[in-house]
Structure 1
Amino acid sequence: MDARDAIKTGMNAERSLIVPLERTVGHFVKGMPMVFATPMMILEMELASADAINACLEPGWVTVGTEVDIRHLAATPVGATVRTVARVVAVERRVIRFEVEAFDEKRRIGEGRHARGLVNVESFTKQFGAK
């Protein structure tokens, strides 16, 4: 599959999440604050990016995260709503590049870039599947 045939710049998606205790840095690291963890924000950005293009993929194809360049700008407490936004900014043959942002009810809490690579599930499974 050549991504340029189906995916166009400007495609976008949003996700929303009410921050649960299990997604805080304090849940993962003893003694740290119970605020939205940076890796969890990045996960939401990756999922929004995938959501923006999944419907355009040919059967048997998926995308996987290959690059992240993210800044976490502000802390967000448990119970707050986080909204993540992803927008396609460039499409190469097998790589799709996104601008991503995250917001809570008060402000932008994260921003950056993310890339996803096209993967044929059958070929991937043959190479890396169960042995």
Structure 2
Amino acid sequence: MDARDAIKIGMSAERILVVRPERTVGHFVPGMPMVYATPMMILEVEMASGDAIRSCLQPGWVTLGTEVDIRHLRAAPVGASIRTTARVIAVERRVIRFEVEAFHGERKIGDGRHARGLVNVENFTRRLAGQ
């Protein structure tokens, strides 16, 4: 599959979640504040990116995160409603690049870039088994 045949610049998706205690830095690191953890924000922008293009993938193909360049700009407490967005900004044969953002209400709490690699699951699994 060549991503350029199916995925178009501008495709987008968003996800909404409520910050639970298990998504805070304090949950992972005792003594730290109970605020939305950067790795959890990265997970959400990766998932929004996948959501933006999943319906265009041929059967047997998925995308996997390959690059993350994210800034976490502001803290968000437990109970905050977080909206993450992803928009395709470039499409190569096997790489799709996204602009991503995260918001708490109208306040931007994160932004950056993310790339996903196009992978044939059967071939990928076979290569892993041979390692």
Higher deviation after alignment, 120-129 or 33-42: 120-129
Question: Normalising by the residue count of structure 2, what TM-score does the alignment of the two structures yield?
Answer: 0.97
Q: Secondary structure of the residue that 1:103 maps to in structure 2?
A: strand
**Moved runs in structure 1, 4+ residues, more than 3 A?**
none
The count of residues paired between Structure 1 and Structure 2 equals 131
In the alignment, structure 1 segments of 5+ residues that lack a partner are none
Letter in 1 for 2:113: R
In the alignment, structure 2 segments of 5+ residues that lack a partner are none
Matches within 5 A, 1:33-72: 33-72=33-72
1:129 CA drift (Å): 4.0
Q: Secondary structure of the residue that 1:45 maps to in structure 2?
A: helix
For 1:17, the equivalent position in structure 2 comes to: 17
Higher deviation after alignment, 51-60 or 98-107: 98-107
Matches within 5 A, 1:93-112: 93-112=93-112
Whole-angstrom distance in 2 between the partners of 1:96 and 1:78: 32
How high is the sequence identity, in percent, across the aligned residues? Answer: 75
Q: Secondary structure of the residue that 1:99 maps to in structure 2?
A: strand
Letter in 1 for 2:34: M
